[in-house]
């Protein structure tokens, strides 16, 4: 009897058991500004996604030009539709081309105002709607901002990632979006580690600002915008390569790698610990 108890206790505290209890690293594949019936480069991006298992984060402007049901039927679904079961999308401005984002909300199964959260491995992931008017506002006390503060308080994960469409920081033609400042501040105070966005059609990585490392990944296949002036904090930028950002999310750290379409050579990679 005593031997059996000792064996059970040894199993409970053994290193192998502790390691097995840790969530396995999860993969997030991110890109925005993607499908368009007038281009073929979106199919090249889809071919990259097909080679990488994991959750697909579409960072808005999933389909051009106006985000209609017909646009999704003809242009998005034939290219990216096979990834729908593993896609978690944010809403871009082109999804609101008809005045509402009903087609995108239906296609991706989103809540009506487009903000929500989910768990991915050991990470808490927050998806926000940077189209502030239909989201009910992005400022202090707006429904989305109140929801975000409550969501962060309810999910005290070691590591947190957020994404939306309009970048808080960008060296691209659209530039940095001050309307996301309040939500960014909430994430910073809540200990978020990574923020992703699209909208500007280039790839860019920033040094941590307020503790958060941010990326612009508007490289989903539609087109490129030139980067003319680098803003402070910009560490890596590329404005002529389509591809995806692959994030590997471990229990207390993350790594990133930009994976270009076939025939392109640009890449960017690194590793960091959660704060």
What pLDDT is recorded for position 23?
A: 79
pLDDT digits (tens, 9 = 90+) for 147-167: 999 999 999 899 999 999 999
Residue 38 lies in a domain: yes
Residue 17 lies in a domain: no
Helix, strand or coil, per DSSP, at residue 212: strand
Residue 159 lies in a domain: yes
> What CATH number does the domain containing 193 carry?
3.60.21.10
Determine the Cα–Cα distance for residues 189 and 64; give it in Å rounded to an integer.
35
Residue 162 lies in a domain: yes
For the chain, the domain total comes to 1
H or E element that contains 182: helix 181-189
Residue 13 lies in a domain: no
Residue 8 lies in a domain: no
**Banded pLDDT at 6 (limits 50, 70, 90):** very low
Residue 16 lies in a domain: no
Distances (CA, A) of 47 to 65, 107, 235: 22, 21, 28
What residues have CB less than 8 Å from 266, skipping those under 6 apart?
A: 203, 238, 240, 241, 243, 258, 260
Nearest alpha-carbon partner for 131 in 91, 104, 169: 91
pLDDT digits (tens, 9 = 90+) for 239-272: 999 999 999 999 999 999 999 999 999 999 999 9
Its pTM stands at 0.92
Q: Are 249 and 26 in contact (CB under 8 A)?
A: yes
Residue 140 lies in a domain: yes
DSSP code for 209: B
Q: What residue numbers bound the domain in which 72 lies?
A: 23-273
């Amino acid at each position: 009897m005593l031997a059996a108890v000792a064996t059970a206790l040894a199993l409970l505290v053994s290193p192998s058991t502790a390691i097995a209890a840790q969530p396995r690293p999860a993969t997030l594949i991110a890109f925005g500004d993607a499908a368009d019936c007038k281009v073929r480069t979106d199919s090249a991006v889809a071919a990259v996604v097909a080679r990488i298992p994991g959750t697909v984060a579409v960072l808005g402007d999933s389909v051009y030009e106006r985000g209609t049901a017909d646009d999704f039927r003809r242009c998005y679904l034939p290219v990216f539709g096979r990834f729908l079961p593993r896609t978690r999308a944010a809403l871009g401005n082109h999804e609101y081309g008809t005045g509402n984002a009903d087609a995108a909300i239906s296609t991706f199964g989103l809540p009506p105002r487009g903000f929500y959260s989910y768990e991915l491995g050991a990470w808490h992931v927050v998806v926000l709607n940077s189209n502030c008017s239909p989201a009910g506002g992005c400022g202090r006390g707006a429904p989305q901002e109140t929801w975000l503060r409550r969501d962060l308080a309810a999910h005290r994960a070691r590591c947190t990632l957020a994404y939306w469409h309009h970048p808080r920081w960008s060296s691209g033609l659209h530039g940095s979006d001050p309307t996301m400042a309040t939500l960014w501040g909430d994430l910073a105070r809540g200990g978020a580690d990574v923020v992703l966005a699209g909208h500007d059609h280039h790839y860019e990585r920033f040094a941590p600002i307020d503790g958060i490392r941010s990326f612009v990944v508007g490289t989903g296949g539609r087109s490129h915008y030139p980067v003319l002036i680098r803003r402070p904090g910009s560490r890596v930028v590329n404005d002529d390569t389509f591809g995806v950002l692959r994030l590997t999310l471990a229990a207390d750290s993350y790594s990133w790698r930009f994976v270009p379409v076939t025939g392109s050579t640009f890449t960017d990679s690194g590793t960091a610990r959660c704060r």
